[in-house]
Structure 1
Amino acid sequence: MLYIGIIGILAALDLFIKQSIEQQNDDDFPKELKESGGKILLYKNHNPGFSFGYLKEHPELVSMIPLAVASFIGGMLACLLRSKGKTAEKLSLSIALGGAVSNLYDRLVRHYVVDYFSIQYGKLKKVVFNLGDFFIFLGAGLIIIIETVRAFKVR
């Protein structure tokens, strides 16, 4: 139940922020996130495609591919939940799935993903994303680290 709770909390947090952004006037953006010293800007972007609007002309693919991927990750987690241990893997998949669920909700209900912040550093200035994207990236990164460590342990 812990991992299902993590998925729900992370998805709810991102969806709460997205709803807050959606309720604000478009003309109020971009704006600086308070206490970030100008390092983080808030935006109100609607992305009907994948990253950078890729495939936005094919909304059925943009909805169905993430649904398939989230289902696969959920299936992997369900299989892992049956076994003892593998806490790091379970946590990593839960984090990634929390982000995926939030973005999938956007794609299926809003027909676009709400992206809302940008880190003002180097090339990252051009990228606007949301916490769901960050959770997906973090979960995937953790899995890569776990599997890399495991591969070196075996040798």
Structure 2
Amino acid sequence: MIYLGIIAGIFWLDYFIKRYVDKNRELMEETPILKGKVIIRKYYNKGAALNFLAKKPERMRQIQTLLMAAAGGSFFTLLSRRGDKGVKTALAMILGGGASNLYDRVKKGHVVDYFSFKTRSRRLSGIIFNISDFFVFAGALLLVLFGKKEK
């Protein structure tokens, strides 16, 4: 199943990058790459995007667990059906990225984020991501696009 491969691929890709960054970088140590447009920077995020619920990490873990269960249930329901390739791909991306971040939350109590973009906006430049975040965002966008088309 290609969709299960997508989930596993995203999970393991991010897992190994997080592991490398966690072992080889100090917190908030900055290394510019790609002509300074991307900054490698280790950060422990106890909340969601923009530190939402950072002061309530247990609540954040519960919410993410429920969201993953809902996405997983939808995914496995669709998996036996023909068609719906866009929605299945979107859900696989969400599940792969979400599983990696949830693993961090359960195992470490925080998510390891490790890169940001250098922009003119100090606020935007301060947002630190990991690869899983991008797959979750991209999967959500695809879900909106393909969810409308395939209904």
Q: If the length of structure 1 is used for normalisation, what is the TM-score?
A: 0.89
Alignment of 1:67-86 (within 5 A): 67-86=65-84
Hey, what does 2:17 align to over in structure 1?
17
SS in 2 for 1:31: strand
Hey, what does 1:7 align to over in structure 2?
7
Which residue, out of 89, 92, 105, partners 1:91?
89
**1:119 paired to 2:111:** no
Q: Between Structure 1 and Structure 2, whose CA radius of gyration is higher?
A: 1
RMSD, matched Cα: 1.6
State percent identity of aligned pairs: 34
Compute the displacement of 1:126 (Å): 2.1
Partner Cα distance (1:38, 1:12) in 2: 27
**1:29 paired to 2:16:** no
Which residue, out of 36, 39, 64, partners 2:37?
39
Moved more, 99-108 or 55-64: 55-64
> Could you give the per-residue CA deviations for residues 45-80 of structure 1, whole angstroms, max 9, x where no partner exists?
001112222222222211111011011101100010
Hey, what does 1:140 align to over in structure 2?
140
Compute the displacement of 1:25 (Å): 3.5
Which one-letter code corresponds to 1:22 in the other structure?
D
> Could you give the per-residue CA deviations for residues 114-133 of structure 1, whole angstroms, max 9, x where no partner exists?
11111112443121111111
Q: Which runs of 5+ in 2 are unaligned?
A: none
Q: If the length of structure 2 is used for normalisation, what is the TM-score?
A: 0.92
Partner Cα distance (1:30, 1:120) in 2: 11
Partner Cα distance (1:88, 1:27) in 2: 38
Hey, what does 2:108 align to over in structure 1?
110
Q: Which runs of 5+ in 1 are unaligned?
A: none
